[in-house]
Structure 1
Amino acid sequence: MNGLIPPNAVEFERLVIGTCLIDRKGLEVVLRVFKDNAEVLYDPKNKSIYEAITRLNKKNNPIDMMTVIQELKKENVLETTGGDQYIIQLTMGVSSSAHIEYHARVVWEKYLLRKMIETGNMMIRRAYDETVDAFDVLDYTVKETNKIHNYLSGQKPIKTFFDVHQEFIEYVKAESVPGVPMPFSKLQEENQGWQDSDLIIIAARPGMGKTALALEIARHAAKEDYPVHFFSLEMANVQLHKRIVSNELGIDSNRIRKKRFTDKDLELIFNCPDFEHLPLYYDDTVFQWEEIKSRARMLANEKKIRMIIIDYLQLITTKEKMSTYDRVTHVSREMKLLAKELKLPVIALSQLSREVEKRPGKKPQLSDLRESGAIEQDADIIMFPYRPEYYGIETWEEEEEWETSTLGKALLMKAKDRHCGESDLVIGWKPENQKFYDLDKIDVIIESKDLPRYGTNEAF
């Protein structure tokens, strides 16, 4: 593009190829670094010779100067590679294979630089093309950059048991388990926070408080100085913010909705410097998964995001036309991959099917996850917020250690947890603030088999 010669190390290439022709151990080192990718080599002659070497290797044929010459003759490319004389010169230039890995990595690094230049040039051309969407350009750049990262990953040595055990020792020495803080003390004690690379699904029927729970999780993490990126595909940013203000400042949500503020309300709103600077980032302008992924990557880099929340899964679209089942399956898997890529927890809200409404107790279960069984498969944790009071179920049956009334109570059901198993937590619910809260000393985690049977109102 600019007339400059691309990065290369042709002299090192010749040493590498020559070593492959006379030293089996050197060949094995080169194959481990280059694999079957002849594009690593810049000189076309060296590319052709390396391709012949890899073909012979796949057939388990011997590899030396004569077998490679015969292979090149068979493919009718011997003359274009410099003929017999060039092959002989390559072997004569090798004095030792002692530094072959270093030589191979120099060649490979030059290849990596050429790939970076190629990606940059393509990004520039696409950016100038007015028919191409900006997010397509960004997504292309991210994909190609990830490929380069994958090349780097492929060069990392395989870790031994000893290496991993040393990492484990550092984990043991650490004062605490790393994780984004949870807003409920018993849940925090059990899980030690939301863990990196986890996909967490919060699923419920409408009216159960999925968004309220997600906002409480986001608010709590942000207050502990863990930046959160909140994608809202259903509610506008200002609607979410009204709920956060109600939760944090204790202002009745009806007064906020009707703008009937008391003097105390206004004082709280206008004088909350700590609250104003919470590291919580709203995003209500994107709906396609490709755009969500690009935004998430960008903000994770710029703002050092520690957790992503998406409200909610079934509203996410894709550029490719898919059936609802295929789309939800695709996005579910992609969210898990994004969590692993960015090394942070991704929390996604999800709808449940109407099957829940047909049960006497209205209690959700994993089979109610809507549209795709992939959600259950991909998720590390699945939680159901459940408020019996919403259905007119006013009491639980008498059980020791349980409050009989469901008024102002909710059950946070952990139906799947790859780390520490299923368990359920009783939490508080404030309808005036649309807020879930920790019941402190009276909250309990109990095993699913010990759950009470819910009494039902006559209307149900």
Structure 2
Amino acid sequence: MQILSFKEAIQFGHVENIGKQKLILPTLGLGQSINDIQEGDFIVITARGGTGKTWLMIQMAYDLAQAGQPVGFFSGEMSVGELGLYRFSKLAEETRHLKESDPPSKKIMAIEKMKDVPMFLPVIEDRWQFRQTCVPVMQQMIEERGIKAFFFDHLRFFVNKAEKMNEREVVEQTVLDMRLFSKKYKTPIILAVQPKQISSDEEASIDTLKGTSAISQDATCVMVLDRPRKKQKRTEDSESVYEPYTVLKVEKSRHAIGNKRIKIFLDYNNGKFIEWDKGGQELCQQFAVLYDK
């Protein structure tokens, strides 16, 4: 055990920071907004259901893996098979055209042409508690696969087991365990968290995180996905009360200024969000024409 003086702590801090590794994050320009992903980061993403947080998590993980950074992806909401069939297949050019009704031989031929990326997913078939189940698997993945970052989709599927604690205390304990793991192993964790129950008129934000303020306090970065309502009164004839785009907000960033808002649109055919001002609006208009037909 080390005990350092004031001066030694300053020296230790400067020496410790020498050679620190960053994971360059190209996704939607987020790397520039948060100063990329740094050792020990604990990043939280929150959004209403159906807004696209799983798509965003996958896109971030895939972009890192494509750049040669091994990542682990823990999915409690969707099975590995569902992710492979409905999400990952969209990302790979070789499998984008495949349909569920296609014969297995056609699927296998397409998959064999793919170049693999270092994105690793444990097969989760029952409930995993973070401390009891996830940590040993994560340690093994770091040792055997050289994992540089972990993604968790999402918190409620991985809370610890604690019989004598209420829900809030269990969430706080789990979040603290995640934060401490990321610091100890210098391996960032990116965690999806549900917002609390809010009205359709209320904007999702760092203040609407479900559970406890400890989540946002412990996070080094908080991102929020939100579908803004159109500024019009809802009528029986109105097709949608929401804007066609999604707003991606960086509301907290310990290593940068933060407070960035990016309009994005999900290109479902390719499984990725694109910026609204960099092709998203045009793509939205193309989809609208197709749907009108």
TM bucket, shorter chain: 0.7 to 0.9
| Aligned residue in 2 for 1:417 | 253
| Aligned residue in 2 for 1:375 | 215
Deviations 1:310-356 (CA, angstroms, capped at 9, x unpaired): 1111122423213211111111111111110110210011111121x
SS at match of 1:249: coil
Q: Give the unaligned 5+ runs of structure 1.
A: 1-150, 172-176, 396-405, 444-460
| Aligned residue in 2 for 1:248 | 92
Change (3 A) 1:236 1:157: same
- What is the aligned counterpart of 1:217 among 55, 60, 68? 60
Separation (CA, whole Å) in 1 of partners of 2:12 and 2:194: 43
Alignment of 1:191-206 (within 5 A): 191-206=34-49
| Aligned residue in 1 for 2:8 | 159
Asked whether 1:236 is paired with 2:75, we answer no
SS at match of 1:291: helix
- With the length of structure 1 as denominator, give the TM-score of the two structures: 0.52
Deviations 1:393-416 (CA, angstroms, capped at 9, x unpaired): 455xxxxxxxxxx3xx32111121
Separation (CA, whole Å) in 2 of partners of 1:369 and 1:304: 31
| Aligned residue in 2 for 1:174 | none
Identity of aligned residues (%): 24
Change (3 A) 1:358 1:347: same
Change (3 A) 1:365 1:433: same
| Aligned residue in 2 for 1:426 | 263
Alignment of 1:103-118 (within 5 A): none
Deviations 1:71-118 (CA, angstroms, capped at 9, x unpaired): xxxxxxxxxxxxxxxxxxxxxxxxxxxxxxxxxxxxxxxxxxxxxxxx
Change (3 A) 1:266 1:410: farther
Separation (CA, whole Å) in 1 of partners of 2:261 and 2:102: 38
1:216, distance to aligned residue in structure 2 (A): 0.7
- What is the aligned counterpart of 1:287 among 121, 124, 128? 128
1:297, distance to aligned residue in structure 2 (A): 1.6
SS at match of 1:292: helix
| Aligned residue in 2 for 1:435 | 272
Separation (CA, whole Å) in 2 of partners of 1:326 and 1:283: 27
Bigger shift: 428-437 or 284-293? 428-437
Separation (CA, whole Å) in 2 of partners of 1:313 and 1:180: 23
1:260, distance to aligned residue in structure 2 (A): 4.2
SS at match of 1:202: strand
| Aligned residue in 2 for 1:392 | 240
Separation (CA, whole Å) in 2 of partners of 1:371 and 1:160: 35
Alignment of 1:47-446 (within 5 A): 151=1, 153=2, 159=8, 161=10, 164-165=13-14, 178-242=21-85, 243-249=87-93, 256=99, 258-260=100-102, 268-272=110-114, 274-275=115-116, 278-285=117-124, 287-289=128-130, 290-321=132-163, 322-355=165-198, 357-359=199-201, 362-388=202-228, 392-393=240-241, 395=243, 406=244, 409-420=245-256, 421-438=258-275, 441=278
Separation (CA, whole Å) in 2 of partners of 1:161 and 1:231: 37
- With the length of structure 2 as denominator, give the TM-score of the two structures: 0.78
Change (3 A) 1:270 1:439: farther
Q: Give the unaligned 5+ runs of structure 2.
A: 231-238, 281-293
Alignment check: 8 A CA contact 2:54 2:153 kept: yes
Change (3 A) 1:439 1:194: farther
Change (3 A) 1:159 1:223: same
1:439, distance to aligned residue in structure 2 (A): 5.8
Aligned residues: 266
Separation (CA, whole Å) in 2 of partners of 1:424 and 1:250: 33
Higher alpha-carbon Rg: 1
Change (3 A) 1:432 1:341: same
Change (3 A) 1:392 1:192: same
1:220, distance to aligned residue in structure 2 (A): 0.7
Q: Which residue identity lines up with residue 195 of structure 2 in the other structure?
A: L
Separation (CA, whole Å) in 2 of partners of 1:314 and 1:161: 39
> Considering only aligned residues, what root-mean-square deviation do their CA atoms show, in Å?
3.2
Q: Which residue identity lines up with residue 8 of structure 2 in the other structure?
A: K
1:433, distance to aligned residue in structure 2 (A): 4.7
The structure with the largest strand share of the pair is 2
Separation (CA, whole Å) in 2 of partners of 1:211 and 1:335: 19
1:434, distance to aligned residue in structure 2 (A): 4.4
Alignment check: 8 A CA contact 1:184 1:438 kept: no
